[in-house]
Amino acid sequence: MVAVLVGNHYEVLGIDARATPEQVERAYRFCLEMYGDASVAIYSLLDPDEQRRARSRVQEAYEVLRDPFRRHDYDASQGFTRPGAPMPSLPRPAAGPVPVRVPPPPPPRLAAPQVLEPPVDGAALRRFREQRGISLKDIAARSKIGVRYLEYIEADRHALLPAPVYLRGFLQEYARATGLEPQRTAEAYMSRLRRASERQ
Amino acid sequence: MMEAVPAVLPASAARQRRQVWSVGGGKGGIGKSLITAALGYQLARVGRKVVLVDADLGGANLHTCLGLAGPSLTLGDFICRRADRIEDVMVETGVPGLRLISGASDFLGAANIKYAQKVRVLNRIRALDVDIILMDLGAGTSFNIIDFFLVSDVGILTVVPEPTSIENGYRFIKSALYRRLRGAATNGTVRTIVDSALDHKNPLGIRTPLDLLAAVEREDPASVPVLKQQLTSFHPRFVVNQVRDPSDVSIGHQLVTACARHLGVKATYAGYVPFDDSVWRCVRQRRLFASAMPDCPSAQKVRELARGLMQGESLALTW
Ligand SMILES: Nc1ncnc2c1ncn2[C@@H]1O[C@H](COP(=O)(O)OP(=O)(O)OP(=O)(O)O)[C@@H](O)[C@H]1O
Ligand SMILES: [Mg+2]
């Protein structure tokens, strides 16, 4: 049995404990690509099941490290100190009951999720979002997707987007956060992307 | 505290140590010969005395990559003693400082040389008055190829961004490493474990060098340090050829990461060469792209590759 991915969250992403949030994001993207279904680099090295487990281990590490609070707790639990690391921006109560984290408020409820006219590309998504007065930070807070990815989606930076399985989830989250119909929005964006890559 | 370094190095140290570099890759037709020829050209251009050795005895064509006709005397003649001295089978290439020992041979048996013959060849080649001996190993993972790779100071592993090539690349690494571990084994138990690891469906469930070490740890812990030492001193250097976009460039970093994590092998990423129409156009005209079109993207990247390899540098993954 191959040791799929051992070590702490930082080792899994291949970064050191002082990594900035941007570095966490980039390392995550690298690992996603490396263990993705379309990966060439690990071909024949891992079997499909090992590849899947490696991917979920990467995802697990990322979920913790991209959230400043979870990362802070994790570092404390592992005995990592990060000199110079910015503390999570909200002050935490020094003692007392464990704080209950309040989820970001849902966006104003719209009558029904909207469906965009084609072409559903990054620019169309962005126009729609801006009309609603929703910032990328809002979406990121709600969906736990890094702002960087949301920017890639809106800028149609196809080469930098994650593998389709992840991208679909990201697009659906984006759609939910802005009040668009998730399935159809994701499908429309992705089929455009597929056509673009076929043309290449 | 830094140690004081003498301002002028003694003459013996100043002289570059003679090095053997080899270019392998497991798969055929991925650019090993062209990269060997182009690297040799670049090294000679910056003043290194280089001899190219076409060790692809069954499919020698390095001379053609250099635009030369098949020489009358080749490595095959030296191996079967039709030529006495290795110098007799070495020819000038027309590039100052770059010479060639061709492998082209009518003697097909040369593809299966015996161990003792290999040692003789290597010793004579190593004794040549040059700075760098650069060997084109040909395709496959036969002992001939792997033994040359293992005695090299710099072992270059060529791949292209395709699953078939990557698969053969990993097979090459495992074959080379297992051969090395077997040579280091001090007793029958360890040799048996290494031999069984060569069979992919082995009953011990060994699929990687790391599994192998774990199996040895169980059966004969005293042998672990020797094997670990062999594992940690094995440093293949990847060259990704025929790169077409930025995600292909990233494959080199992924290979290095995967080797470390899943094989326990510390590889490095020496560099990459773009897919470039100039390359195959030059091949058709029997000219070397590196000299015929020095400004084409692939020639430029081979220049960077040569510089990095000479200075022991590699492409680092930075976030
Ligand atoms: N960077 C490149 N850009 C374009 N074409 C390339 C490139 N590298 C190699 N090729 C093509 O691949 C062909 C095979 O290259 P080469 O003969 O060097 O491969 P090889 O690995 O030595 O093959 P063999 O295993 O048969 O010895 C070349 O003739 C050329 O057409
Ligand atoms: Mg060749």
Q: Which of B283, B300, B305 most suits a substitution to test ligand 1, by most atoms within 8 Å of the C-beta?
A: B283
Confidence label for A3 from pLDDT (cuts 50, 70 and 90): low
Cβ-Cβ contacts under 8 Å, A44 against chain B? 163, 166-167, 170-171
Closest-CA distance, B262 to chain A, in angstroms, reads 7
Nearest CA to ligand 1 atom 3: B275
Interface test with A, best of B160, B248, B262, B263 (most A CBs within 10 A): B262
- Structural domain boundaries, residue A31: 3-78
Q: Which of B280, B281, B296, B298 most suits a substitution to test ligand 1, by most atoms within 8 Å of the C-beta?
A: B280
Q: What is the mean pLDDT of chain A?
A: 82
For B241, the 3-state DSSP assignment is: strand
Centre of ligand 2 from the C-alpha of residue B130, in Å: 23
CATH of the domain at A43: 1.10.287.110
| Ligand 1 pocket residue status of B273, Cβ below 6 Å | yes
Domain assignment present for A93: no
Q: Is A19 on the interface with B (CB under 8 A)?
A: yes
A46, pLDDT greater than 50:
yes
| Ligand 1 pocket residue status of B280, Cβ below 6 Å | yes
Domain assignment present for A106: no
Which atom in ligand 1 lies closest to the alpha carbon of residue B27?
25
Q: Return the pLDDT at A63.
A: 95
Domain assignment present for A64: yes
Query: In DSSP terms, which residues pair with B159 in a beta bridge?
Result: B240
Which atom in ligand 1 lies closest to the alpha carbon of residue B243?
1
Q: Is B254 on the interface with A (CB under 8 A)?
A: yes
pLDDT 10s digits, B50-84: 999 999 888 899 999 999 998 889 998 898 888 89
Domain assignment present for A190: yes
When computed from its CA atoms, the radius of gyration of chain A, rounded to whole angstroms, is 19
Q: Return the pLDDT at B249.
A: 95
Q: Return the pLDDT at B110.
A: 55
A9, pLDDT greater than 90:
yes
Q: Is A17 on the interface with B (CB under 8 A)?
A: no
Q: Which amino acid is at B18?
A: R
Nearest CA to ligand 1 atom 8: B31
Per DSSP, B223 falls in state G
| Ligand 1 pocket residue status of B36, Cβ below 6 Å | no
Q: Is A38 on the interface with B (CB under 8 A)?
A: no
Q: Is B261 on the interface with A (CB under 8 A)?
A: yes
Domain assignment present for A186: yes
Q: Which of A19, A53, A78 is the last residue of a domain?
A: A78
Which residues, other chains included, contact A84 with Cβ-Cβ below 8 Å and sequence gap of 6+?
A18
The answer to whether B55 and B138 have CB atoms below 8 angstroms apart is yes
| Ligand 1 pocket residue status of B33, Cβ below 6 Å | yes
pTM for the full predicted model: 0.76
pLDDT 10s digits, A60-102: 999 999 999 999 999 988 888 655 555 554 444 344 344 444 4
Q: Give me the residue label for tokens 């770059």.
A: B98
Shared-domain flag, residues A194 and A131: yes
Domain assignment present for A99: no
Confidence label for A148 from pLDDT (cuts 50, 70 and 90): confident
E strand or H helix that includes residue B136: strand B132-136
Closest-CA distance, A136 to chain B, in angstroms, reads 23
Relative to the alpha carbon of B290, which ligand is closest? 1
Cβ-Cβ contacts under 8 Å, A40 against chain B? 161-163, 166, 251
* DSSP string for B68-130: -PPPSS-HHHHHTTSSSSGGGGEEE-SSTTEEEE----S-GGGGG--HHHHHHHHHHHHTSS-
Distances in whole angstroms, Cα of residue B18 to Cα of each of B101, B157, B310: 17, 21, 12
Q: Return the pLDDT at A52.
A: 94
Relative to the alpha carbon of B157, which ligand is closest? 1
Q: Residue B258 and residue A42: Cβ atoms within 8 Å?
A: yes
Domain tally, chain A: 2
Confidence label for A109 from pLDDT (cuts 50, 70 and 90): very low
Which residues 103-162 of chain A have a CB within 8 Å of chain B?
159
**A34, closest residue in chain B (CA to CA):** B254
- Residue numbers in chain B where pLDDT is lower than 70: 1-16, 104-112
Domain assignment present for A113: no
Q: Is B257 on the interface with A (CB under 8 A)?
A: yes
Query: In DSSP terms, which residues pair with A65 in a beta bridge?
Result: none
Helix ranges, chain B (H) = 11-14, 32-45, 62-65, 75-79, 115-126, 143-150, 163-184, 188-198, 209-219, 224-232, 246-258, 277-284, 289-292, 297-310
Shared-domain flag, residues A126 and A188: yes
Q: Return the pLDDT at B20.
A: 95
Confidence label for A111 from pLDDT (cuts 50, 70 and 90): low
Q: Which of A19, A46, A78 is the last residue of a domain?
A: A78
Centre of ligand 1 from the C-alpha of residue B304, in Å: 19
Which atom in ligand 1 lies closest to the alpha carbon of residue B59?
27
A51, pLDDT greater than 80:
yes
Q: What is the token pair recorded at B110?
A: 């040369």
The CATH number of the domain covering residues in B16-310: 3.40.50.300
CATH of the domain at A135: 1.10.260.40
Residue ranges covered by each domain of chain B:
16-310
Which residues, other chains included, contact B31 with Cβ-Cβ below 8 Å and sequence gap of 6+?
B158, B160, B241, B242, B273, B279
Helix ranges, chain A (H) = 9-13, 21-35, 48-65, 68-78, 122-131, 136-143, 147-155, 164-178, 182-199
Q: Return the pLDDT at B305.
A: 98
As a whole number, mean pLDDT of residues A96-121 equals 61
Domain assignment present for A86: no
Confidence label for A108 from pLDDT (cuts 50, 70 and 90): very low
Q: Return the pLDDT at B109.
A: 60
Q: Return the pLDDT at A195.
A: 87
Q: Return the pLDDT at A134.
A: 87
